[in-house]
Amino acid sequence: MASAVAQPPSVLTRGRARRRFRIRLRISPRYFITIPLAAFAILPIVYIISTAFKPLEELLLFPPPFFVRNPTLDNFTDLLLSFGSLSVPFTRYLFNSLFVVIVLTFAGAMLAALAAYPLAKLNPPLGNALFALVVAGLMFPPEVLAIPRYIVVANMGIIDTYWALILPNIAVPLGMFLMKQFMDQLPSEILEAARVDGASEWTVFWRIAMPMVSPAWNTVIILSFIAFWNDSFSPVVFTRSEAMKTVPYAMITIQAGANFIARQGAAAAAVFIMTTPTILVFILRQAKVVQTFAHAGIKS
């Protein structure tokens, strides 16, 4: 022990450096694999961003250049002008998408939490059977339920309204599944202690349970935002007038136009506008997604 203390600082420093070097050698092969894979995964995103700022002459080149050479903002101006001759400007599509997505995202997350809490902590009659039905709903794509949903919406008399875009999508089976699996792991003793102290069931849910499952409802918000922002099915089925359409429908309009070649810059700008919000939301909250899916497969 004394001999170790008596060693000069230079010897100790060299020893620490050698240990750090050995550690780096052990972990470096992982980075040789993961870094190229990560770079390959983000190439489509880089190409979308680069294409949005390319002038028309670069968009028409073959093979198309990967990176923009002479960046310009004319594509975004062209996007606004391409709808100038129509009765509905592009900003109207953008407003509809933002309004519907924000309402659906937060209302869907709240509904999923309100449905998952009693199933996880209050043990209602037939609770397991109800949860099994919710899980079974994950197996059906939206197209399978299109006709029944349309009949219900039509009979309610809300076709071509915001309600037609919101109500059929407000219940998210995946969100309820994640919330329920996460709430199953909450310590029941904490909730029971709050009830003994006189807290109402709503207080227990809102003040105790919800903060403890914040990764779950953050994940539901992120996944719902991405899904609803890119939804081009509902506007086509449940709306009639152009004033009720959303950005995904506007994308279809641009690409299906007779002058699509001349509007490639506008289409590139529209793709950028559609893609950027989902990427930003996921990057900012990706840790919550990973944490939730890790807990969803664990039973206490």
* Tens of pLDDT, residues 205-225: 999 998 888 888 888 888 888
Instruction: Name the band, by pLDDT with cuts 50, 70 and 90, for residue 100.
Output: very high
Instruction: Name the band, by pLDDT with cuts 50, 70 and 90, for residue 102.
Output: very high
If phi over 0 gives left and psi between -120 and 50 gives alpha, with beta otherwise, what is residue 123?
left
Report the interhelical angle of 90-121 vs 173-183 (nearest 10°): 40
Q: What is the pLDDT of residues 232-269, one digit of tens each?
A: 888 888 998 888 988 888 877 776 654 556 667 777 88
* 292 exposure class (CB count in 10 Å sphere: 0-12, 13-18, 19+): buried
**Domains of the chain in sequence order:** 2-52 (no CATH), 74-296 (1.10.3720.10)
| pLDDT for residue 297 | 47
- Asked whether residue 116 carries a pLDDT value surpassing 80, the answer given is yes
Q: Which residues contact 216 (CB under 8 A, 6 or more apart)?
A: 178, 179, 182, 183, 292, 295
pTM of the model: 0.75
For residues 147 and 144, what is the distance between their CA atoms, to the nearest angstrom? 8
| pLDDT for residue 233 | 86
| pLDDT for residue 104 | 93
